[in-house]
């Protein structure tokens, strides 16, 4: 496989999205969050001279698709980077009564705009939620949305990081305690998948086997589920009922295209 810089010659990358791309629950040394997009930027910059690769991350937790389109997509028209990653619509799909066909239509309109403003656009499918409490009931909606995303990528010449097929994230260690956001190792696995989706050779394998650990007993699983419901599920439901978002009063962590 050729080196990425030989095929795409990337020097500027902008990440768009919600908490997934902001990097929640992957703490960085500076006290902020890192996440898969930051980790991808590091991989892309590895063969560049100092200051030769620039990166912006406009993602903000809790953002719905229309908010991302209104707040973040116009910045891509201004910056015109070589690469944009656009992962959006997941928060819309999680909402009761949402229609994945309708969400996909709005997603495609944004992709068409991004394709005119960036050299390469990479999109991500949704995760397979078969093992996630409550979210496993949304598996059909997510699969339908993913089918649309793959077709949109074909029509607009986008690259795809297929998270649905990433078996490594079916391990509970890929997820943080809230079971909605990735752990640091989960973010690393996604970064490696994204890099390979762009054609970059990586020494690490996103599907590398996890170290063997004992399975939880049924009693331990029930205890963990109860702690999760108390600590994360109920507060999440409460915010929804109050019309609040985890992203209220939060700004993008890296709003300008700066050297990495």
pTM above 0.95, yes or no: no
How far is it between the farthest Cα atoms of the chain?
A: 54
Domain boundaries, the chain: 4-215+252-259
Query: Among 113, 103, 117, 91, which Cα is nearest to 239's?
Result: 91
Sign for the CA dihedral angle at 136, 137, 138, 140 comes to positive
Confidence class for position 247, pLDDT limits 50, 70, 90: low
Q: Tens digits of per-residue pLDDT, 137-153? A: 999 999 999 999 999 99
| Length of the chain measured in residues | 260
Is the domain spanning 4-215+252-259 CATH 3.40.50.1110? The answer is: yes
Residue 230 confidence (pLDDT): 77
Residue 5 has pLDDT above 60, yes or no: no
Give the bridge partners for 56, in sequence order.
14
More confident residue, 217 or 99: 99
């Amino acid at each position: 496989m050729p080196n990425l810089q030989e095929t795409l010659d990337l020097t500027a990358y902008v990440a768009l999205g919600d908490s997934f791309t902001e990097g929640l629950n992957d703490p960085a040394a500076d006290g902020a969050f890192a996440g898969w997009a930051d980790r991808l930027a590091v991989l892309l910059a590895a063969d560049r001279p100092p200051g030769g690769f620039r990166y912006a991350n406009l993602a903000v937790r809790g953002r719905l698709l229309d908010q991302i389109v209104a707040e973040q997509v116009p910045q891509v028209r201004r910056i015109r980077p070589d690469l944009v990653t656009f992962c959006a619509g997941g928060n819309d799909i999680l909402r009761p009564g949402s229609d994945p066909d309708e969400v996909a239509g709005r997603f495609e309109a944004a992709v068409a705009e991004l394709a005119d403003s960036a050299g390469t656009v990479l999109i991500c499918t949704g995760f397979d939620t078969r093992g996630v409490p409550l979210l496993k009931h949304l598996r059909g909606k997510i699969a339908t949305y993913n089918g649309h995303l793959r077709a949109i990528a074909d029509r607009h010449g986008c690259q795809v990081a297929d998270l649905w097929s990433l078996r490594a994230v079916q391990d509970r260690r890929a997820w943080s305690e809230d079971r909605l956001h990735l752990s640091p190792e989960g973010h690393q696995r996604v970064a490696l998948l994204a890099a390979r989706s762009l054609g970059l050779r990586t020494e690490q394998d996103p599907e590398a086997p996890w170290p063997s650990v004992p399975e939880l007993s049924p009693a331990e699983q029930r205890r963990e589920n109860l702690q999760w419901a108390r600590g994360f599920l109920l507060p999440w439901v409460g915010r929804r009922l109050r019309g609040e978002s985890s992203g209220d009063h939060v700004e993008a962590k890296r709003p300008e295209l700066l050297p990495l």
